[in-house]
C-alpha cells in the first residue's frame, strides 16, 4: 500500500478507515491470500505479537461509534449498561464481523467478560477466548499463571492459524511491535511538545488506523505523519494543557475530542487505545519470548482502572507522573456512562490529584453522544479557570 | 341478548367494548378517565351502550323495508344529531347545576346578576350548539367537558363585559359545576334522545323517509334486552377496577388478543403509548407468547414527542406533517426525554432544518421500538401497530422503512381505531371464558 | 440475606430463631473486637474463605451483608445519596455506595454498636470486577492492609490446573502469610481440615433443602425463602458446628412440611395453592423485599430454583469442600461460584433447573448494580426459551437503591407473565369462534 505523503492526506486516509464500519481494509487483507485469518480483540490489552506471529491480523474492535443505528444490539442490553457491547453486537448481527475468525475479550470489566460468553453462545463456530491477566505481579506467582495462560492462548491461536507458532516468529513479531510502540511514543511526545501541530483529533485517528491495519503499514503511517507533521506551520494558541482520562474502552465520538480542543484545551496525554502503549518499554527480543512478554506486563505496563494497584501509596501515581511528564495543567475525567472501572476508579484518582493540587473536571459520555454544548461549556470553563489560576 | 363487555381503564381515557354472542362488535365507548375510575367505567359503558343501540338500530333498518339504501350515511346523521341532543341535555344539566351553585354560595347581593349572566351564556351556548355538530364540523374532542368548557370560557368573557359582572365569578361557577356534571351519566332516557335525533334528521333531510317504518325499527332496536353476560377489565387502573380479580386481565394479554381479533393473522403487536412501549408476540389464537416493554427509561415513548412539541412550541399533531416535509433525516442518537430540548437546540445551532431534525427524531423513536420488538423476538409474520403514535404519519413512514430493512416484506396493519384494542381483547376474553364455562357445564 | 425483614414474620420456625441468634452473636463479636482484641477480616460472599479465616481466630465481616441489612431496613437510600455527594457516580454498584455512605456516617452494626474497621481486606474478587475497586476504595478510606486473592474467571467453562494452581499458590504464599502476620496465629492445616468437615456436612443438608423444591407442591420458596436458607452457609458460619446444626434443624422442618403436603411459609403465613413454579435468575431487590415477595405469593407463584442461592457457592452439582485436599478444595470452591462461571455454563445450569424442578417458566430479575449478573441476561433468556420452549419474563430492579424499584411497573409485568402462563396451559385459551 502506498502511503499518502501529506499530513492532510494521512489524516484523511485514517478518517476513512475509522468511518468504515465494514472493515474493508481488513477484509481486503484477508482476501489477498487464501488461508489468512483475522483475530478481533477488544480493549484494553492483548499481546498482538502472538497473533501477528501466527501470520494473522489483529483487529481492534472498539464498538460502532456514533455512526451506527443500534437496533438488535439494544435488544441484548438493559439501558443501564454501557454502549460498546451493544454496538459491537450490532456489528456482529449485521454481519460486519463475519470475516473475523476469532475474538479475544480482555479482562477489563464484567460487561466485556460476559460478552465473551455471549459470543460463545452466538458464534459457536468461532474461536472465542476470555483473555485473563494476572493481578499479582510476582514473576513466580502471577507471572507463572500468565505464562501458562499465554501458552494456552498460543495453542488456541495455532488452531485458528492451522500451523505452529514457533518462538522465533514471536521474537520477530515482538521486534515489529517494539518499532510500532516507539513510533507511537514519538507521536505522543511530538504532540506533548507541540500540540498545535499534532492535534488530538488527528493523533486519535492515527491510532485508530492501527486497530485495523497490519502493524507494518501502521508503523509506516506513523513515520510519515511524524515526518510531515513537524514541518507544519500551524499557529500556537493560548490553550491549557490537559490529560484526558477514562477513555480506555468505549470511545467518545470524534466530535467530543474536537469539542474539548475547540474549547481551549490541548490534550497532551490520554488513555485511548492503551493496547498501543500498554507495555511502556521495548519488550526484550532475546530469550524466551513468552517470559519476556510476561515480564513486560508485570513490571512495565500502564496503570488503568482494570488493573489492581497493590501499593496504596502508588494509587494515582501513574496519572500524576503523566501530568508531570507532559507538563499538563489539569485532568479531564471523561468516562463512558455506566463504565464500572472508570467510574469506580475516578474518586481515588481525583483524591490523588487533589493532594498534588492538580485541578480536574469530570463528565460522562457515550460513544453516540450527540450534545457537545455541555462538553464545550465545561471544558471551556475549565480552561479559563486554569488560565486564571496560573495568572494569579 | 347476551353481551360481553371489555373495559380498558387507561391513565387518560377509559374505553368500553360490547360484543354480541358471535363476537360481533355491538358498540364501543370512550371517556376521559378522571380521578374516579368507577365513574369513568360507568360513562364508558354507557357510551358503548349508546353505540350498541345505534348498531342494533342500523341492523333493524337494514332488515326492515325503510327504503334507506345508504344505512351507514343515514346512521352517521342520526348519530350526529344524537350527540347534539345529548350535548344539549348536558348543557341543561350544567346550567341547573350552576344555578344551584349560585343559590348555595355567598354571592353577596350579586346573585341576580350572576343568574342573568348565566342565562345569557347558556342561551348562546344552546344557540351555537347545532353548528358545533353540523355536518363536517371539526371537533377537537368528543368529551363534553372539552367542548362545553372552551365555549363557555369564550362566551363568558363577552357576557362578563356586556353585563358588567366579574369573569372570575362566572369561571368559578363553571369550575364548581363541571365536575358534578361530568361525573354523572347524561340525564333523561336514551330512547327519547334518539327520537328527537330522528325528528331533527327528518326536519333537515331531503330523503324520503317513512316515519312509521323508522319508529318500528327503533322500537325493535330498543326493545331488545341487553344482558351483561360477562365483563372483563384491564388497563392501567385495573387494580381499582370495580370488579372481582377473576374478571381482570393484564393489559398485555388484552392488547395481544384485541390485535388478534382485528387482524387474525397477526403474530407481532407493537403498541406505543404515552408512557410505555410494548412489543407482544402472539400465537395463532391471540395468546401472548412473549412480551417486552421499555425499561424504566421512557425514552422513545409518545411522551417524548410531547416534549419535542413543547420545545418547538407547536402542537403534537403538527410534528408528523412537518417531518414529512423533510428532504433528509438528521441522525439523532438520543431519545432521552431529559435531553430532548438540548439535542434539538444543538442541531438547530448546527444549521440543520427543523423538518430534517424532526424526521430524525421520528426515526429515533421508531428505532427504540424496533429494539424492543427485537428483544421480544422480532417480526416473522404479520405485524400490527397500535397506540396514539400510530396516527403520526412521519412515525408510520419511519416504521415501514425500518420494518422492511430489518424483516423484509411483512404485512403491516396500522389501525386507526387502535385505541380500543385493549378493550376489545378484554371483551373477547369475557366471551371466550363464558363459552368455556358453558362448554364445561 | 441473613436477616429478617423489619416486620417480624408471622411464623417463626426454630431454624429461623436459631439463625437470628447466630447472626446476633456474630455482630456482637464483631462490635466487641476492639475489647476482645480479635482481628477482623472483610471479604465477599462469592469466594468467601470462612474456614480459613477461622483458622486464625479472626472474625469475618462481609460488606455486601451490611449493605443488604441497610437495604432491608430502608436506610440504604440515604447512604447511597451520601456516597454520591462524595463524588461516586449514580451509575455504579449500590452495594459499594451503601457501604461507603454508611462509613461516612460512622458505620453502625445492626446491634446499634459501632462497627470496627477491618484489620485485613481479603480481596478475593470472585466473579465480579467491582469487588476489586470496592476494596481499593475501602483501603483508601481505612488505610488497612489488603491481600489480593485473584480467582480466574472460568471463561471456557472449565477449571484448568493453571487456574487452580494459581489460587492455591496465592493462598500459600500471600493470603496465609498475611493472616498469620496480622492475627499472630500460626496456620494449622488440621484445623482447616476440621472446619472443612463441618462445611461438607452442612453442604449436604443445604443441598437437600434446595432440592426439596422438586416436590409438588414445593415446601420452600427457593428465592425469597432461599435467601434466608443460604445465610449461614454463605457468610460467617460455613465450617462451624452451628451451621451444621442449623441445616439439620431446617431439614427436619422441611421434611415435616413435605409429609404434610405443605407449601412454603411466607411473611403472612402459609402460602395458598401453588399455581406457578418458577426459576429465577438474578439477585433480589432488598429495599422492597417484602412487597416484591408478596407479588409472587399473592398470585400463587413459587420459586423452585434460583441462581442467586448459588452466588456464594454451587453445591448442587456435587462439589463439596474436601478435608483431604483443603487448599485445592478452597480453590475449587472459589472458582465454581455462580458468577465466576461463563454464560454458556449459566444457561446450562438454568436449563437443568427448568427441567429438574418442573418449572413453568424463567423469570429474570435484572439488577442495575450488578453487571456481573446482568450483562447478557437477555441473551440467556432467549436461549432458555429456545431450549425449553417455556416462557420467560424480564423485570428490572436494583439491590439496595430504592430509586430503582417501580412497583407498578413490576406488578404489570408479573401479572402479565403469570396470566400468560395460565392462558397457555388452559383450555380457555383456545379460541371460540369470533367474527371480526
Q: What is the mean pLDDT of residues B387-404?
A: 91
Q: What is the mean pLDDT of residues C11-38?
A: 93
Length of chain B in terms of residues written? 441
Q: What is the mean pLDDT of residues A89-110?
A: 97
Backbone angles phi, psi at B106, to 5 degrees: -85, 100
Say yes or no: do domains C14-187 and C215-228+258-429 share a fold: yes
CB atoms within 10 A of CB C25: 14
pLDDT at B418 over 50: yes
Chain A CA closest to residue C170: A141
User: CB contact, 8 Å: B401 with chain A?
Assistant: no
- List pLDDT tens digits, range A367-389: 998 878 889 999 999 999 998 87
pLDDT at A3 over 60: no
Exposed / middle / buried, residue C54 (Cβ in 10 Å: 0-12, 13-18, 19+): buried
Answer CATH for A1-12+171-236 from 3.40.50.2300, 1.10.390.10, 3.40.50.300, 1.20.1270.370: 1.20.1270.370
- Yes or no: is domain A13-169 CATH 3.40.50.11890? yes
With a CB-CB cutoff of 8 Å, which residues 72-131 of chain C face chain A? 86-89, 91-93, 96, 123, 125, 128-130
Contacts with B179 (C-beta within 8 Å, 6 or more apart), sequence order: none
Residues B177 and B295 in one domain: no
Q: How confident is the model at residue B145 (pLDDT cuts 50, 70, 90)?
A: confident
Angle between helices B302-312 and B354-376 (to 10 degrees): 170
The answer to whether the CB atoms of C416 and B290 lie below 8 A apart is no
Residues B295 and B393 in one domain: yes
Picking from B182, B211, B231, the residue at the C-terminal end of a domain is: B182
Which chain B residues are within 8 Å of C374, Cβ to Cβ? none
Which chain B residues are within 8 Å of A69, Cβ to Cβ? 331, 367
User: CB contact, 8 Å: B295 with chain A?
Assistant: yes
List for chain A the helix, strand, coil content (%; round to 5). Answer: 50, 10, 35
**Range A238-392: architecture per CATH:** 3-Layer(aba) Sandwich (3.40)
d(CA A294, CA A50): 12
d(CA C421, CA C329): 42
Q: What is the mean pLDDT of residues C262-288?
A: 96
Which chain C residues are within 8 Å of B55, Cβ to Cβ? none
- Check residue B335 and give its pLDDT: 67
B307 in any annotated domain = yes
The answer to whether the CB atoms of B253 and C404 lie below 8 A apart is no
Say yes or no: do domains A1-12+171-236 and A13-169 share a fold: no
Give SS3 for A226.
helix
Exposed / middle / buried, residue B206 (Cβ in 10 Å: 0-12, 13-18, 19+): exposed
Q: What is the mean pLDDT of residues B60-68?
A: 73
Q: What is the mean pLDDT of residues C44-52?
A: 96
Give SS3 for C188.
coil
- List pLDDT tens digits, range A218-269: 999 999 999 998 888 889 999 999 999 999 999 999 999 999 999 999 999 9
Q: How confident is the model at residue A391 (pLDDT cuts 50, 70, 90)?
A: low
Which chain B residues are within 8 Å of C397, Cβ to Cβ? none
End-to-end CA distance of chain C: 53
CA distance B262 to chain C (A): 6
CA distance C127 to chain A (A): 8
- List pLDDT tens digits, range B277-330: 899 999 999 999 999 987 656 666 777 888 888 888 888 888 999 999 999 988
Which chain B residues are within 8 Å of C413, Cβ to Cβ? 293
Q: Which residue has the cell 470524534?
A: A254
d(CA A244, CA A382): 13
B274 in any annotated domain = yes
Full residue range of the structural domain in which residue B162 is found: 82-182
Pairing of strands B25-32, B277-282: unpaired
Instruction: Tell me the pLDDT of chain B averaged across its residues.
Output: 86
The answer to whether the CB atoms of B296 and C413 lie below 8 A apart is no
d(CA A288, CA B368): 52
CA distance C378 to chain A (A): 5
Answer CATH for C14-187 from 3.40.50.1220, 3.40.50.11890, 2.40.10.220, 3.40.50.1110: 3.40.50.11890
Which chain B residues are within 8 Å of A366, Cβ to Cβ? 333
Of A110, A152, A82, the residue nearest C340 (C-alpha): A110
Domain tally, chain B: 2
pTM for this model (two decimals): 0.89
Give SS3 for A130.
strand
User: CB contact, 8 Å: B368 with chain A?
Assistant: yes
Paired strand residues for C303: C278
- Check residue B238 and give its pLDDT: 61
The beta-carbon neighbor of C366 closest among A78, A120, A351 is: A78
Answer CATH for C215-228+258-429 from 3.90.550.10, 3.40.50.10860, 3.40.50.11900, 2.60.40.60: 3.40.50.11900
- List pLDDT tens digits, range B206-236: 777 777 878 888 888 888 888 999 999 998 7
Domain parsing of chain C, residue ranges: 14-187, 215-228+258-429
- Check residue A119 and give its pLDDT: 98
Give SS3 for A211.
helix
User: CB contact, 8 Å: C348 with chain B?
Assistant: no
Pairing of strands B25-32, B383-386: unpaired
CATH number where B313 lies: 3.30.420.40
CA B89 to chain centre: 21
- Check residue C431 and give its pLDDT: 46
CA distance C91 to chain A (A): 5
Which range, A70-74, A352-356, B306-310, B330-334, is most confident? A352-356
The answer to whether the CB atoms of C89 and A134 lie below 8 A apart is no
pLDDT at A194 over 60: yes
CA distance B344 to chain A (A): 9
Which chain B residues are within 8 Å of A369, Cβ to Cβ? 333-334
Residues B268 and B410 in one domain: yes
d(CA C378, CA B371): 12
Backbone angles phi, psi at B434, to 5 degrees: -65, -40
Residues B238, B245: contact at Cβ < 8 Å? no
List for chain B the helix, strand, coil content (%; round to 5). Answer: 60, 15, 30
ipTM > 0.90, yes or no: yes
User: CB contact, 8 Å: C146 with chain A?
Assistant: yes
Of B134, B140, B151, the residue nearest B200 (C-alpha): B134
Q: How confident is the model at residue B65 (pLDDT cuts 50, 70, 90)?
A: low
Residues B170 and B280 in one domain: no
Give SS3 for A366.
coil
B34 in any annotated domain = no
> Taking CB atoms and an 8 Å cut-off, how many pairs form between chains A and B?
53
Which range, A123-127, B176-180, C242-246, C393-397, is most confident? C242-246
Q: What is the mean pLDDT of residues B72-99?
A: 89
CA A381 to chain centre: 28
Domain parsing of chain A, residue ranges: 1-12+171-236, 13-169, 238-392
Which chain B residues are within 8 Å of A259, Cβ to Cβ? none
Give SS3 for B19.
strand
- List pLDDT tens digits, range B242-288: 677 778 898 899 999 999 999 999 999 999 877 788 999 999 999 99
Amino acid at each position: 500500500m502506498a502511503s499518502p505523503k501529506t499530513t492532510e492526506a494521512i489524516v484523511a486516509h485514517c478518517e476513512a478507515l475509522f468511518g468504515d464500519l465494514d472493515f474493508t481494509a481488513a477484509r481486503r487483507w484477508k482476501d489477498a491470500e487464501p488461508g489468512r485469518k483475522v483475530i478481533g480483540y477488544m480493549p484494553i490489552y492483548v499481546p498482538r505479537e502472538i497473533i501477528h506471529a501466527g501470520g494473522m491480523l489483529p483487529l481492534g474492535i472498539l464498538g460502532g461509534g456514533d455512526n451506527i443505528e443500534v437496533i438488535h444490539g439494544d435488544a441484548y442490553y438493559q439501558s443501564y449498561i454501557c454502549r460498546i457491547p451493544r454496538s459491537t453486537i450490532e456489528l456482529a448481527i449485521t454481519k460486519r464481523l463475519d470475516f473475523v475468525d476469532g475474538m479475544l475479550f480482555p479482562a477489563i470489566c464484567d460487561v466485556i467478560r460476559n460478552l465473551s460468553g455471549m459470543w460463545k453462545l452466538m458464534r459457536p463456530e468461532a474461536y472465542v477466548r476470555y483473555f485473563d491477566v494476572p493481578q499479582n505481579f510476582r514473576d513466580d506467582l502471577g507471572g507463572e499463571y500468565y505464562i501458562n495462560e499465554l501458552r494456552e492462548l498460543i495453542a488456541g491461536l495455532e488452531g485458528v492459524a492451522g500451523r505452529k507458532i514457533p518462538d522465533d516468529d514471536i521474537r520477530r513479531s515482538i521486534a515489529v511491535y517494539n518499532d510500532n510502540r516507539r513510533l507511537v511514543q514519538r507521536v505522543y511526545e511530538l504532540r506533548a511538545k507541540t500540540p498545535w501541530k499534532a492535534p488530538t483529533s488527528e493523533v486519535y485517528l492515527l491510532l485508530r488506523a492501527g486497530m485495523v491495519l497490519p502493524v507494518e503499514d501502521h508503523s509506516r503511517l506513523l513515520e510519515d505523519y511524524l515526518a510531515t507533521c513537524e514541518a507544519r506551520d500551524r499557529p500556537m494558541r493560548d490553550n491549557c494543557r490537559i490529560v484526558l482520562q477514562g477513555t480506555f474502552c468505549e470511545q467518545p465520538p470524534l466530535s467530543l475530542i474536537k469539542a474539548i480542543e475547540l474549547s481551549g484545551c490541548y490534550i497532551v496525554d490520554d488513555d485511548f487505545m492503551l493496547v498501543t502503549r500498554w507495555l511502556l518499554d521495548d519488550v526484550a527480543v532475546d530469550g524466551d519470548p513468552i517470559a519476556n512478554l510476561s515480564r513486560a506486563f508485570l513490571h512495565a505496563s500502564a496503570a488503568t482502572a482494570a488493573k489492581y494497584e497493590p501499593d496504596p501509596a502508588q494509587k494515582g501515581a501513574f496519572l500524576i507522573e503523566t501530568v508531570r511528564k507532559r507538563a499538563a495543567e489539569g485532568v479531564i475525567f471523561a468516562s463512558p456512562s455506566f463504565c464500572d472501572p472508570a467510574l469506580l476508579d475516578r474518586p481515588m484518582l481525583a483524591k490523588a490529584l487533589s493532594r498534588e493540587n492538580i485541578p480536574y473536571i469530570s463528565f460522562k459520555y457515550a460513544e453516540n453522544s450527540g450534545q457537545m454544548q455541555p462538553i464545550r461549556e465545561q471544558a471551556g470553563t475549565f480552561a479559563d479557570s486554569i488560565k486564571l489560576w496560573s495568572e494569579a | 341478548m347476551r353481551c360481553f363487555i371489555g373495559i380498558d381503564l387507561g391513565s387518560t381515557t377509559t374505553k368500553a367494548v360490547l360484543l354480541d354472542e358471535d363476537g360481533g362488535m355491538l358498540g364501543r365507548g370512550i371517556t376521559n378517565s378522571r380521578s374516579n375510575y368507577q365513574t369513568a367505567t360507568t360513562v364508558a359503558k354507557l357510551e358503548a351502550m349508546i353505540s350498541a343501540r345505534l348498531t342494533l338500530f342500523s341492523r333493524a333498518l337494514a332488515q326492515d323495508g325503510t327504503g334507506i339504501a345508504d344505512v351507514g350515511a343515514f346512521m352517521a346523521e342520526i348519530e350526529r344529531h344524537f350527540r347534539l341532543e345529548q350535548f344539549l341535555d348536558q348543557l341543561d344539566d350544567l346550567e341547573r347545576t350552576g344555578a344551584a351553585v349560585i343559590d348555595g354560595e355567598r354571592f353577596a347581593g350579586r346573585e341576580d346578576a350572576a343568574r342573568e349572566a348565566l342565562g345569557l351564556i347558556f342561551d348562546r351556548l344552546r344557540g351555537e350548539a347545532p353548528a358545533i355538530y353540523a355536518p363536517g364540523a371539526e371537533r377537537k374532542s368528543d368529551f363534553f367537558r372539552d367542548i362545553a368548557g372552551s365555549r363557555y370560557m369564550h362566551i363568558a368573557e363577552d357576557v362578563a363585559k356586556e353585563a358588567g359582572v366579574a369573569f372570575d365569578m362566572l369561571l368559578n361557577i363553571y369550575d364548581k359545576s363541571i365536575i358534578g356534571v361530568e361525573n354523572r351519566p347524561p340525564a333523561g332516557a336514551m330512547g327519547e334522545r334518539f327520537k328527537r335525533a330522528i325528528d331533527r334528521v327528518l326536519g333537515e333531510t331531503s330523503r324520503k323517509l317513512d316515519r312509521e317504518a323508522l319508529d318500528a325499527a327503533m322500537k325493535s332496536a330498543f326493545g331488545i334486552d341487553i344482558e351483561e353476560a360477562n365483563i372483563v377489565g384491564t388497563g392501567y387502573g385495573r387494580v381499582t377496577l370495580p370488579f372481582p380479580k377473576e374478571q381482570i386481565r393484564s393489559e398485555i394479554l388484552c392488547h395481544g388478543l384485541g390485535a388478534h381479533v382485528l387482524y387474525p393473522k397477526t403474530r407481532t403487536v407493537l403498541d406505543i403509548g404515552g408512557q410505555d412501549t410494548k412489543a407482544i408476540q402472539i400465537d395463532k389464537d391471540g395468546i401472548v407468547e412473549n412480551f417486552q416493554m421499555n425499561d424504566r427509561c421512557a425514552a422513545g415513548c409518545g411522551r417524548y414527542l410531547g416534549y419535542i412539541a413543547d420545545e418547538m412550541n407547536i402542537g403534537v399533531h403538527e410534528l408528523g406533517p412537518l417531518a414529512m416535509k423533510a428532504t433528509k433525516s438528521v441522525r439523532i442518537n438520543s431519545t432521552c426525554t431529559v435531553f430532548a430540548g438540548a439535542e434539538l437546540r444543538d442541531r438547530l445551532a448546527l444549521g440543520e432544518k427543523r423538518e430534517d431534525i424532526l424526521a430524525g427524531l421520528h426515526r429515533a423513536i421508531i428505532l427504540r421500538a424496533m429494539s424492543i420488538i427485537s428483544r421480544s423476538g422480532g417480526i416473522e409474520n404479520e405485524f400490527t401497530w397500535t397506540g396514539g403514535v400510530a396516527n403520526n404519519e412521519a412515525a408510520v413512514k419511519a416504521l415501514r422503512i425500518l420494518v422492511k430493512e430489518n424483516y423484509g416484506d411483512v404485512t403491516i396493519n396500522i389501525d386507526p381505531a387502535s385505541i380500543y384494542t385493549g378493550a376489545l381483547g378484554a371483551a373477547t376474553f369475557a366471551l371466550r371464558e363464558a363459552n368455556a364455562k358453558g362448554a364445561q357445564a | 440475606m441473613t436477616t429478617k425483614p423489619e416486620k417480624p414474620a408471622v411464623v417463626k420456625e426454630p431454624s429461623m430463631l436459631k439463625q437470628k441468634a447466630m447472626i446476633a452473636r456474630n455482630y456482637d463479636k464483631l462490635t466487641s473486637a476492639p475489647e476482645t482484641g480479635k482481628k477482623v477480616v472483610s471479604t465477599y460472599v462469592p469466594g468467601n474463605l470462612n474456614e480459613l479465616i477461622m483458622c486464625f481466630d479472626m472474625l469475618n465481616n462481609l460488606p455486601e451483608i451490611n449493605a443488604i441489612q441497610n437495604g432491608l431496613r430502608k436506610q440504604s437510600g440515604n447512604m447511597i445519596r451520601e456516597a454520591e455527594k462524595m463524588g461516586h457516580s449514580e451509575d455504579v454498584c449500590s452495594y459499594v455506595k451503601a457501604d461507603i455512605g454508611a462509613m461516612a456516617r460512622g458505620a453502625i452494626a445492626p446491634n446499634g454498636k459501632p462497627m470496627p474497621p477491618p484489620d485485613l481486606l481479603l480481596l478475593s474478587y470472585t466473579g465480579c470486577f467491582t469487588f476489586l475497586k470496592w476494596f481499593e476504595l475501602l483501603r483508601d478510606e481505612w488505610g488497612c492492609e489488603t491481600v489480593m486473592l485473584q480467582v480466574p474467571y472460568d471463561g471456557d467453562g472449565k477449571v484448568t490446573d493453571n487456574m487452580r494452581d494459581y489460587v492455591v499458590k496465592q493462598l500459600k504464599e500471600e493470603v496465609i502469610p498475611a493472616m498469620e502476620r496480622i492475627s499472630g496465629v500460626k496456620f494449622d492445616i488440621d484445623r482447616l481440615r476440621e472446619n472443612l468437615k463441618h462445611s461438607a456436612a452442612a453442604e449436604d443438608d443445604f443441598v437437600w433443602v434446595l432440592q426439596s423444591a422438586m416436590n409438588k407442591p414445593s415446601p420452600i420458596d427457593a428465592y425469597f425463602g432461599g435467601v434466608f436458607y443460604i445465610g449461614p452457609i454463605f457468610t460467617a458460619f460455613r465450617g462451624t458446628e452451628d451451621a451444621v446444626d442449623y441445616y439439620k434443624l431446617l431439614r427436619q422442618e422441611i421434611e415435616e412440611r413435605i409429609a404434610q403436603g405443605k407449601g412454603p411459609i411466607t411473611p403472612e403465613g402459609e402460602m395458598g395453592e401453588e399455581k406457578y413454579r418458577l426459576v429465577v435468575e438474578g439477585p433480589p431487590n432488598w429495599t422492597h423485599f417484602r412487597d416484591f415477595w408478596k407479588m409472587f405469593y399473592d398470585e400463587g407463584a413459587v420459586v423452585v430454583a434460583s441462581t442467586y442461592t448459588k452466588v456464594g457457592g454451587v453445591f448442587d452439582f456435587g462439589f463439596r469442600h474436601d478435608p483431604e485436599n483443603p487448599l485445592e478444595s478452597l480453590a475449587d470452591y472459589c472458582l465454581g461460584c455462580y458468577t465466576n462461571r461463563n454464560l454458556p455454563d449459566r444457561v446450562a445450569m438454568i436449563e437443568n433447573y427448568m427441567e429438574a424442578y418442573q418449572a413453568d417458566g424463567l423469570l429474570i430479575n435484572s439488577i442495575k448494580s450488578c453487571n456481573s449478573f446482568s450483562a447478557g441476561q437477555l441473551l440467556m433468556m432467549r436461549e432458555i426459551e429456545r431450549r425449553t420452549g417455556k416462557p420467560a419474563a424480564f423485570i428490572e430492579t436494583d439491590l439496595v437503591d430504592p430509586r430503582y424499584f417501580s412497583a407498578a411497573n413490576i406488578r404489570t409485568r408479573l401479572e402479565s407473565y403469570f396470566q400468560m402462563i395460565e392462558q397457555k396451559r388452559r383450555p380457555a385459551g383456545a379460541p371460540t369462534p369470533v367474527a371480526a
